[in-house]
Amino acid sequence: MDFRLEFIEFVLANDILRFGEFKIKSGRLSPYFFNAGLFNDGLLLDRLSQFYAKAILDSGISIDMLFGPAYKGIPLVSGCAMALARAGRNLPFAFNRKEAKDHGEGGLLIGAPLSGNVLIVDDVISAGTSVRESVALIRAAGAAPCGVAVALDRMERGSGALSAVQEAQMEFGIPVIAIATLDNLITYLRDQPDFSVHETRILRYRQEYGIENIH
């Protein structure tokens, strides 16, 4: 099975991806909800990190190091660095503080110095604020943001015609690597007869709010 479909199977099995009726940040009623906060034990984080590593290696983009925006990006970038090292790509990583430290080593950044092509590792892209702040930090250090890796791309329009992922790609000129997309979820559901009712509702939602896949 393709790792993207394996990821869908994994998050469904652990109730991280759920079906129902959920009011999301945009105010829309979504037929599914992805709760990245539920990757909350060692085994789940380790498995998630392996999926990130597969998606990053599969992308083929040139990466010199990893960066995780505080706070959710901190465990993600740490786990991702370990998974990539086990896969034969040992990369340095760093993350930021929300507020600069004025004692000890000081500064906003912890970890390896930002240099070369830096991949941002986060859970999702919603408003794009985290990506914007990360790009500014990376560029201020003289390094180059080369992409963003996220767990799930909902492929859903924001306030305009583009999704948050598309907006990030256009604004910063960097690719967004998603472990899986809404289209991958639909593909998975088509082979699961027990989930047919969810597929129908998701397809309707996709038709109303979705965007075309530009990856």
Nearest to 30 by CA among 167, 156, 193, 187: 156
* Residue that the structure tokens 């503080």 belong to: 97
Could you give the residue ranges of the DSSP H alpha helices within the chain? 3-13, 42-59, 73-86, 129-140, 164-172, 182-190, 196-209
**Which positions are catalytic?**
101, 103
Question: CA geometry: angle at 189 spanning 123 and 53, to 5°?
Answer: 35
The Cα–Cα gap between 132 and 147 comes to: 12
Q: What residues are paired with 23 via a beta bridge? A: 29
